[in-house]
Structure 1
Amino acid sequence: MLTIINQIPYCVFMIPGTMLMTRIRPSILMPLSEFAWGIFTLTCAFAHSLDQMYAYRFMVGFFGAISYTGSIFIIGSWYRRPEMARRLGFYAVASPLGSMFSGYLQSAAYENLDGVRGLAGWRWLFIICSIITFPVALWGSIAIPDTPQTTRCILLKKHDVELSLSRMADAGHARKKVSMAGIRKALGGWQWYLFVFAWILLDQNEQMLSNAMTLYLKSYPDEFTVPQVNNLPTVTNAISVVTTLAASWYTDKSRNPFLPGLMASIMFCVSAYILVGWNVSLSAKFFAWFMGGSILVLQSILMTWATLETMEDLEVRAFVTGSMNCLGNALKTGTNIVVFPTSQAPRFRRGYIWTAITASLQLVVLISIKLMTIRDRKKPAPVVEETLKKEDVGDELAQEMPTNF
């Protein structure tokens, strides 16, 4: 229930928050949200009732809503097509690296801080997270550059800004504020439907990686220690880091996000099918859980692909990328309770069957996106009128003539 309480405001305010960044500087909005996130994370450490924890986790979800999509929005405003995948890839690996760090942090808190000053280890985790958050929020107010058209970042020199403006002007970027017209335009194109559906499937697939392995390990306390329960799942995150960086590098060099996305999806399908079978060796199960981390490649690939396909229109880009993460998380919050209930641990037969289905659909959607991009490339470019009406030419010439002619 705590997860649902946290995810509701996170999903509801994600799209409005991303849109708001076209009107309020991200260098103001994001650090303020981060600082508030840190305050309510700290209050979680001192909650004395479940109702208090519900309220605090709700506020944590609210102020964390724009963090991910806001960062994608900013990155997409500063880099050109051949540079996008690596930058989004570097950002995407922060998630599995963070999960790895939190796993080690949980182990350390359990072993060293549990009971210190009368506080349980889980309370110390909230305290540590908030302590890390406050300086990050302060740094964000200095380092977040907004967009090239609006930046006031003191870390950038004048010629840096001028260079960025010229680069992004060549790429077709324009400063706009999100409006209802922009939303209607986004809903009128195929990009919103296919990329949002692809991200929804990605979030469904990620459920196999979140708690399934951890709960399996916890089911055998005589075979796996508490540190092993926390640390072994981090191997999945390590594999996702390596595969994401490799896929991002390939995408920028080849300008082809389809191939690494397809390969990662195929590998994940194999992992899902192994776990559906279940009656395999422990080594095969570990292989499936570990190599299943390759699906996280799609976090950077899909965001890169969506950004590239909507790069010329800031309104459409903000709405599409915001919708992807918002709707994906919203549906995952609901389905996670149904398809991966803890009562079915450690096998999760229903969950693995569901994941095998969504993984197979992921392949279909990726192929569909590729086909739509091929179709768009074949469309003739709009013809631009190179001649003006005769009377317009006369008016322009009259305006340009010297008055003493």
Structure 2
Amino acid sequence: MALWGYYALPDLPSNTRVNWLTPAEKELALLRMKNAGKQLDEPITWVGVARVFKKWHFWVYTAYYTYSVPQINTYPTVTNAVTIVTTLCYGWVSDGIGLRSPIVYFSLTVCFFAAMNLAVWDGVPFGLKWASFYLTGFAQGSGPVFLTMVNEICAGDSLERKLILGSTNSIAYAFNAWIPLITYDTNYAPRFLIGNSVTVGLIVCAACTLSLALYLQRRDAARSKRAMV
């Protein structure tokens, strides 16, 4: 797989060296990036990094990925199947309606409902507990949609896009590597009060972060529109 990826992935239009693309196709890819308003690849420099850090995009979008996804230990195959189906559906619907944030909000809402049920536990019907475990599979599929939104918003600055996407992915994996180990102590299975309570709080933080990003995005768009008048 790694060898195939090395051969098949063409890298960026501005620096691709694959031999299965003709010069005309490479020029077409560059033209498409230009028409889409995307800046060509920019090397990482201290000046460029400082420019990115001065913008809100890096701090807000990176902060979104500080929430964790519950790690299900019982019948994980079903949860993974839910993740696969929802990931495909999120992508199709998002592209179909041309919007990203509603998909992410929907995912957060479903996972908030599931985590709340699992945190409360007492008094929650047995069937709803099972359903809530499976509903946690709605979480991971919204990640690619969120990253697509970031990619589109930062399309005009290739260095910023590169740093933010790399940082968000790194932080997501870093947090998911240790937070579940601490908060989902298997000694307390099947009720993970601490883990699901933390998840509820972090989902709220993620929703607030997303809302802040949308507000700042609209503010910047309004400023740009006024500047053009």
TM over 0.5, shorter chain:
yes
1:36 corresponds in structure 2 to none
2:76 corresponds in structure 1 to 233
> Cα offset for 1:145?
0.4
> Cα offset for 1:383?
6.4
Contact persistence 2:101–2:146 (CA under 8 A): no
Aligned positions, number: 226
CA RMSD between the two structures: 2.0
| Poorly superposed stretches of 4+, deviation over 3 Å | 331-334, 381-384
The answer as to 2:85 corresponding to 1:242 is yes
The answer as to 2:3 corresponding to 1:138 is yes
One-letter amino acid of the counterpart of residue 246, structure 1: C
Distance between the aligned counterparts of 1:310 and 1:266, measured in 2? 26
Q: Aligned with 1:296: secondary structure?
A: coil
Q: 1:269 aligns with which of 105, 112, 115?
A: 112
Q: 1:189 aligns with which of 30, 52, 55?
A: 55
1:153 corresponds in structure 2 to 18
Distance between the aligned counterparts of 1:194 and 1:287, measured in 2? 32
Q: Aligned with 1:360: secondary structure?
A: helix
Q: Trace 1:3-402 onto structure 2 (pairs within 5 A).
A: 136-171=1-36, 172-201=38-67, 204=68, 206=69, 208=70, 210=71, 213-214=72-73, 217=74, 232-279=75-122, 280-380=124-224
1:103 corresponds in structure 2 to none
One-letter amino acid of the counterpart of residue 260, structure 1: I
Q: Aligned with 1:169: secondary structure?
A: helix
Output one character per residue of 1:168-201: Cα deviation in whole Å (capped at 9) or x when no partner: 1222321311111221112111111111111112
> Cα offset for 1:149?
1.4
Distance between the aligned counterparts of 2:162 and 2:32, measured in 1? 20
Output one character per residue of 1:101-145: Cα deviation in whole Å (capped at 9) or x when no partner: xxxxxxxxxxxxxxxxxxxxxxxxxxxxxxxxxxx1221221120
TM-score, length-scaled by structure 2: 0.90
One-letter amino acid of the counterpart of residue 347, structure 1: R
Output one character per residue of 1:82-104: Cα deviation in whole Å (capped at 9) or x when no partner: xxxxxxxxxxxxxxxxxxxxxxx
Output one character per residue of 1:244-292: Cα deviation in whole Å (capped at 9) or x when no partner: 2222223223332111111111111100011011133332122111111
Distance between the aligned counterparts of 1:361 and 1:296, measured in 2? 16
Q: Aligned with 2:66: secondary structure?
A: helix
- Greater RCO, CA 8 A, separation 6+: 2
Q: Aligned with 2:139: secondary structure?
A: helix
> Cα offset for 1:161?
1.5
Distance between the aligned counterparts of 2:30 and 2:100, measured in 1? 26
> Cα offset for 1:154?
2.5
One-letter amino acid of the counterpart of residue 155, structure 1: W
| Structure 1, unpaired ranges of 5+ | 1-135, 218-231, 385-405
TM-score, length-scaled by structure 1: 0.53
| Structure 2, unpaired ranges of 5+ | none
Q: Aligned with 2:224: secondary structure?
A: coil
Distance between the aligned counterparts of 1:252 and 1:360, measured in 2? 26
Distance between the aligned counterparts of 1:333 and 1:350, measured in 2? 17
Q: Which has the higher Rg, Structure 1 or Structure 2?
A: 1
> Cα offset for 1:381?
5.0
Output one character per residue of 1:30-49: Cα deviation in whole Å (capped at 9) or x when no partner: xxxxxxxxxxxxxxxxxxxx
1:95 corresponds in structure 2 to none
Distance between the aligned counterparts of 1:338 and 1:288, measured in 2? 21
1:64 corresponds in structure 2 to none
Distance between the aligned counterparts of 2:173 and 2:2, measured in 1? 24
Contact persistence 1:179–1:315 (CA under 8 A): no
One-letter amino acid of the counterpart of residue 339, structure 1: T
> Cα offset for 1:342?
2.7
Contact persistence 1:199–1:302 (CA under 8 A): no
How many percent identity over aligned positions?
24
> Cα offset for 1:324?
0.9
